[in-house]
């Protein structure tokens, strides 16, 4: 089974990680949709290397599901397996999108020596942590203030008065401080 020019295979096993038997019809469907899975993985994450692990998860998941509902053996499991693989791929791609390599190791170490750089990163992490704890409205207020918007501009965006927006924001900030 090749994958876009390179030879890539997934380890087709009889049992999943939990030691449960994997259905032969699902394993066969996995082999038959392998090329499509590689193409989709490359399109979603820029490489096809994660396709094997994702296929193993999807095959095990579909096999468990079909056993649980008592489905008979059938050679037509492609659609179900492809849907499970696509769902697993979407989750993997979303998780991968949150992790970004910003530089090689030499650039990272030289950046760490610059304490201003570390201070900016720490401040950004604190800001993101605060935004997660705030309500959606006040999270937006904080992000707008961090972007340089004035209270009057923010109040007009929310269709409210400056006093209402500001006092609501600071009231929630005070609540977060007291909950620490």
- Tell me the fold of 105-178: Arc Repressor Mutant, subunit A (1.10.10)
Supply the pLDDT for residue 58: 92
CA distance 137 to 150: 16
Confidence of residue 96 (pLDDT cuts 50, 70, 90): confident
Delimiting residues of CATH 1.10.10 domain(s) in the chain:
105-178
Which has the minimum average pLDDT: 36-40, 83-87, 125-129? 125-129
Angle of helix 115-133 relative to helix 136-146, nearest 10 degrees?
150
């Amino acid at each position: 089974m090749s994958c876009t020019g390179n030879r890539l295979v997934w380890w087709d096993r009889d049992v999943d990680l939990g030691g449960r038997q994997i259905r032969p019809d699902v394993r066969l469907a996995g082999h038959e949709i392998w090329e499509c899975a590689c193409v989709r993985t490359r399109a979603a994450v820029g490489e096809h290397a994660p396709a094997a692990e994702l296929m193993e998860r999807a095959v095990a998941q579909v096999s468990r599901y079909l056993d649980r509902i008592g489905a008979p053996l059938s050679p037509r499991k492609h659609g179900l397996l492809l849907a499970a693989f696509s769902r697993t791929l979407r989750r993997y791609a979303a998780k991968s999108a949150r992790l970004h390599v910003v530089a090689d190791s030499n650039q990272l170490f030289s950046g760490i020596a610059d304490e201003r750089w570390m201070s900016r990163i720490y401040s950004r992490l604190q800001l993101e942590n605060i935004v997660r704890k705030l309500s959606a409205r006040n999270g937006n207020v904080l992000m707008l203030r961090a972007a340089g918007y004035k209270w009057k501009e923010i109040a007009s965006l929310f269709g409210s008065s400056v006093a209402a927006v500001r006092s609501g924001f600071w009231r929630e900030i005070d609540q977060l401080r007291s909950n620490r």
